[in-house]
Amino acid sequence: MANTTEQAVLVSQSALRSNQSIVQLALFKADGAAHIVPERAAAQTDVGAVTSVVAAGGTPTKAEYDALRVDALATRTVLNALLAKLRTANVLAP
């Protein structure tokens, strides 16, 4: 008996040619539960350029501290948005 291999290629419906047909495919986890493939999330913006500058030596000024805090909060916002997208995609546990 010859070994046969079947191949599945996932393409969008708009990429199908007129002589091709659609086959429905279901994915399951090892425990038998259905595996849901999430929608692709929108691109995540990069963290902006660092705006804080600390003068050499001495104690940072209030303005330097405030600028650093703004940078840290901007990074936190982008990181939290990225983590939310990973949770929605079931890459991370909720």
Q: In the chain, how many domains are there?
A: 1
**Contacts of residue 93, Cβ cutoff 8 Å, sequence gap at least 6:** 87
What distances in angstroms separate CA 28 from CA 13, 31, 36, one per listed residue?
22, 8, 8
Range of the domain at 32: 13-88
Q: Is 3 within a domain?
A: no
pLDDT in tens, the chain (94 residues): 456 655 666 777 777 777 776 777 777 888 888 877 777 788 888 888 888 887 777 788 898 889 999 999 999 999 999 999 888 887 888 8
Q: CA nearest 83: which of 48, 50, 41? A: 41
